[in-house]
Amino acid sequence: MTHEKKTTPEEIAERFGGSMEPWSGGDGKDRIRAAIAQAEAAEAREELEKAEARLRELKGEEPKA
């Protein structure tokens, strides 16, 4: 299984409105934490789907639709 590069907090911040510096106070931290958590959850789901597909392949099962 190949490991793809994880998205950095800075890359996530760029997607959600710029660098992390302007988000350094109050609710900004909450937003960046939520964005990071969402990105990590999406990456985890993708990894799980790949692992499940590989397991089905190794067991000789049909691909999940």
Domain residue ranges of the chain, discontinuous segments joined by +: 9-59
Residue 25 scores a pLDDT above 70: no
pTM tops 0.75 = no
Residue 37 scores a pLDDT above 90: yes
Q: How would you class 13 by CB atoms within 10 Å of its CB: exposed for 0-12, middle for 13-18, buried for 19 or more?
A: buried
Predicted pLDDT at 63:
73
pLDDT band at 8 (very low <50, low <70, confident <90, very high): confident
* Residue given tokens 């793809």 in the structure block: 4
